[in-house]
Amino acid sequence: MANPEAHAHRSGPVRSDDARRAILEAVAGEFLAKGYEGLTIQGVAAAAHVGKQTIYRWWGGKAELVADCLVEGLLWDTELAVVDTGDVVHDVTTWIAHMLDLDRPGGRDVLRSLLGAAASDEPLAQHLDELLRGAHEGGVTHRLTVACERGELDEGVDTVLATDVLLGLVVVRTIVRRPTTHDELDSLVRQLLTAR
């Protein structure tokens, strides 16, 4: 074993997965219902029928809880993977549009609340970043890179920058609560995917 991690033998009961799941589901529920600011550890504990200590034993606070929910896919349809139809512009536009009115009433609220949370917690921001950009395949950056390799895009397109720019538009518009038209997106994607 590579890391001689700190547990030195360690018998005793093991972490309860029931509790863990109940907590994360409660977090998701409260988050979706009341946003990040309205989320309370107390409320989560009550909703999950769990002692507060059980929460504090494994998480450091709201931010960590939400981060875990995020990676677990409890806050997000998870199906925001970019599909690959062969047409980058279409794929990316579709994906963005999909994300913009993040499926159903309050979808944008979730993203907004998440952004607010990320603004005040660095690790959560990292998680959100990875999730949005898609560190894993299925993310936009990946789709763009694939397109680049296929020759769909001019060489010299900075896929990471392009991703951030696209997300940036989604993000500002979400924060300031201004709508975005399909045309705007289309135009932007087109402009970005063509190197100078």
Partner DNA sequence: CTTTAAACGAGACGGTACGTCCTGTCTTAGT
Partner DNA sequence: ACTAAGACAGGACGTACCGTCTCGTTTAAAG
> In the bound complex, what is the minimum distance in angstroms from residue 34's beta carbon to its own copies?
11
3-state secondary structure 5-60: CCCCCCCCCCCCHHHHHHHHHHHHHHHHHHHHHHCCHHHHHHHHCCCHHHHHHHCC
Q: Least Å distance between CB 129 and its own copies?
A: 4
Cβ distance to its own copies smaller for residue 78 or 194: 194
Is residue 176 near its own copies by the rule CB under 8 A?
Answer: yes
Q: How far apart are CA 66 and CA 31, in angstroms?
A: 8
Cα 193 from chain centre:
24
How many angstroms separate the CA atoms of 94 and 172, rounded? 19
Q: Which stretch binds its own copies (CB under 8 A): 18-26, 72-80, 89-97, 167-175?
A: 167-175
Select the binding partner of residue 66 from DNA, its own copies, none (C-beta < 5 to 8 A, by kind). none
**Residues in 13-52 at the binding interface with its own copies, rule: CB under 8 A:** 35-37
Write out the binding residues for its own copies, residues 112-151 only, by CB under 8 A: 112-113, 115-120, 122, 125-126, 128-129
Quickly tell me which residue has 């590579």 as its tokens.
2
C-alpha–C-alpha distance, residues 194 and 151, integer Å: 11
Does residue 167 bind its own copies (CB under 8 A)? yes
- Give the binding-site size for its own copies (rule: CB under 8 A): 39
- Minimum CB distance to its own copies, residue 73 (Å): 20
Task: Work out how close the CB of 122 gets to DNA at its nearest, in angstroms, rounded to a whole number.
Answer: 16
Nearer to DNA, 21 or 90 (CB): 21
Alpha helices in the chain (DSSP H): 17-38, 41-48, 52-58, 62-72, 88-100, 107-120, 122-133, 140-150, 159-176, 182-192
Query: What is the C-alpha to C-alpha distance for residues 152 and 190, in angstroms, rounded to an integer?
Result: 12
Rule CB under 8 A: which residues touch its own copies?
35-37, 112-113, 115-120, 122, 125-126, 128-129, 158, 161, 164-165, 167-173, 175-178, 184, 187-188, 190-192, 194, 196
